[in-house]
Structure 1
Amino acid sequence: MSTDARHTDTDTGTGPRANPRATDGGAAPAEPPQEWLTWKERRARTISAPYGPLSLTGTHWLDDHPDGLLPGIPGHWRADGDAVVLTARPGDGITLDGTPAAGEARLTAYHGPVPDAPLAHGERRLVILRREGLWAVRAFDPAAPARTEFPGIEVGAYDPARVLAGRFRAYPEHRSVRVGNADGRERGLGLAGDLVFTADGTEHTLQVAVEEDGSLWAVFADASSGNGSYRFRFLRPPAPAPDGTVPVDLNRALLPPCAFADHFICPFPPPGNTLPFAVATGERAVRSR
């Protein structure tokens, strides 16, 4: 499925997925579990890494630049079927696999870690992106002010009551719904099933995707969205057990990549994915400077 959660978290927002245990009604621990503290610290390192999501300074759609000239990026760029053609001069300073680019080069979409991207301009990494047949070039700059001046992530207090027992119910066939994206465009969001869980005595359902490793991915809002927390968040439960059971740890709610840089194209929650209660835990917002 196409998401902006592939390059830096991979496009960030994930980090390692632990396997939290659902609450069993026992007494709440006096302190957050160490695995959650480790998760929180690792997320902070991932977000603020040199080529993490804070370093994204632009996503330039080639259709928006028919002259082939991209803001702040040298060379001439054009889409050509299943590739992007870059025409560069030696003086442009663009390198491909560590070698100065000169003449034409055909480039395909890159899905790996940003630091390893084959295309660079000085310290910047240039990443070729394709969404629904349209091509873009992304620029990641470790010197981006959003990164160098990053104040940190506001994370709600750990709440053991928000580690819930869930069940995944797969759809007979995967489906796609059109949803708005953070860049103002509408794109398809692939969905594979429902994640059902009970919170505060009431059953709730989130529509989710299944990632390549079997883990789940939900885009959701809640009663605090836009009022104490970011307008929507991600949730990434681990792969369900063979019987469909899966822990739902709302303490691991994630800010989407677009919370850290305006140039990501995160999907908004699909219809029905707004929880009626406030999720006060997990990542809530970027701290104010």
Structure 2
Amino acid sequence: MSADAEDPVAAWKRWHEHRVDTVSAPYGPLALTGTLPQTPSGGTPGLADYPEGRIPAVPGHWRATAGGVTLTAGPQDGITLDGEPLAGAAELAADEAPPSHARLAAGEVRLVVIRREGEWAVRVFDPGAPGRAAFTGIEATPYDPAYAVPGHFAPYGEDRTVQVENVDGRTRGLGLGGELSFSFAGARHALRVAVDEEDGSLWAVIGDATGGRSSYRFRFLKPGIPAADGSVTVDLNRVQLPPCAFADHFVCTFPPPGNTLPFEIAAGERRLKGALASGI
């Protein structure tokens, strides 16, 4: 039996410490200072909105093409591509690497090319971001065994999409793969969950009776990969803050219909500590 199985308290502490290290890393979520360019409506940013090729606060000339992005830069721009100074034009696709290993950099800043809703944009990660400097930790409730319960995943058999409002005020489709059911405090509950296409792990956007009061308005639950019979542990001790809790430039979805639980999840990550606490 593993040490984690023998001592869930120690495992939870290790998980929490890893989460704090991850979000506060030089190119973690707290370092995101912009997703550019931003459309005047506040919707999905797109390079097509800047046909002259200049994105505010980002060096170089950027142009969206049918298959990606063309970036043209000179020595005065100070951009490096794969660690080498960029002098001329480069054809870029979406950067699949984590920000710390992004292909593009401008000094200590990392530039990450993304494609979202058919639009090309650039995310800017700066280790000197004010949010990262002000970070003092994540308020989290210590492990409570009552919040770790058996669950069962039942796939739909085919992918379903539900329209859900996002934090930027727009409604978008959220793909769902099945339902995760479990019992808590004498009642049966079911969550609509997504399934990761790469490894089959589950994740859900959930709300509860603490949301917007003593916890962030919604949180993420990632139970892991269910067994062949659908069994999986629902450990509410590991509910976590969504990326938009750390930087406003992330666009997160609100819980889909049916995913706001009627009880208090007085467990897991609750909110950011200190001056950064928001969304409650």
Which residue among 186, 193, 208 is the counterpart of 2:178? 193
CA deviation digits over 1:59-114, x for unaligned, max 9?
01224434332221111212111201112122101111111112221111112221
- After superposing on structure 2, the runs of 4+ consecutive aligned residues of structure 1 that deviate more than 6 Å are 18-21
Instruction: For 2:3 and 2:35, locate their aligned partners in 1 and report how far apart those are by CA, in whole Å.
Output: 34
Matches within 5 A, 1:49-128: 49-60=25-36, 61=45, 62-128=47-113
Letter matched to residue 91 of structure 1: Q
Q: RMSD between aligned alpha carbons?
A: 1.9
Which residue among 215, 230, 243 is the counterpart of 2:201? 215
Instruction: For 2:97 and 2:227, locate their aligned partners in 1 and report how far apart those are by CA, in whole Å.
Output: 28
Shift of 1:117: 0.7
Give the structure 2 partner of residue 172 of structure 1: 157
Give the structure 2 partner of residue 5 of structure 1: none
Letter matched to residue 214 of structure 1: G
Task: For residue 33 of structure 1, give the secondary structure of its aligned residue in structure 2.
Answer: helix
Give the structure 1 partner of residue 147 of structure 2: 162
Instruction: For 1:84 and 1:179, locate their aligned partners in 2 and report how far apart those are by CA, in whole Å.
Output: 29
Give the structure 2 partner of residue 284 of structure 1: 270
Task: For residue 170 of structure 1, give the secondary structure of its aligned residue in structure 2.
Answer: strand
Task: For residue 19 of structure 2, give the secondary structure of its aligned residue in structure 1.
Answer: helix
More relative contact order in 1 or in 2 (CA 8 Å, sep 6+)? 1
Instruction: For 2:52 and 2:164, locate their aligned partners in 1 and report how far apart those are by CA, in whole Å.
Output: 30
Give the structure 1 partner of residue 39 of structure 2: none
Task: For residue 236 of structure 1, give the secondary structure of its aligned residue in structure 2.
Answer: strand
Task: For residue 23 of structure 2, give the secondary structure of its aligned residue in structure 1.
Answer: helix
1:265 equivalent to 2:241? Answer no
Q: 1:64 to 1:281 in 2, by over 3 A?
A: farther
| Kept after mapping to 1: 8 A contact 2:4/2:10 | no
Give the structure 2 partner of residue 8 of structure 1: none
| Kept after mapping to 2: 8 A contact 1:220/1:232 | yes
Letter matched to residue 207 of structure 2: A
Aligned length: 264
Which residue among 132, 138, 152 is the counterpart of 2:117? 132
Instruction: For 2:201 and 2:4, locate their aligned partners in 1 and report how far apart those are by CA, in whole Å.
Output: 13
State the TM-score, normalized to the length of structure 1.
0.87
Structure 2 gap ranges (5+) = 37-44, 276-280
State the TM-score, normalized to the length of structure 2.
0.89
Moved more, 227-236 or 148-157: 148-157
Instruction: For 1:183 and 1:82, locate their aligned partners in 2 and report how far apart those are by CA, in whole Å.
Output: 27
Give the structure 1 partner of residue 40 of structure 2: none
Give the structure 1 partner of residue 128 of structure 2: 143
Instruction: For 1:224 and 1:40, locate their aligned partners in 2 and report how far apart those are by CA, in whole Å.
Output: 20
Give the structure 1 partner of residue 15 of structure 2: 39
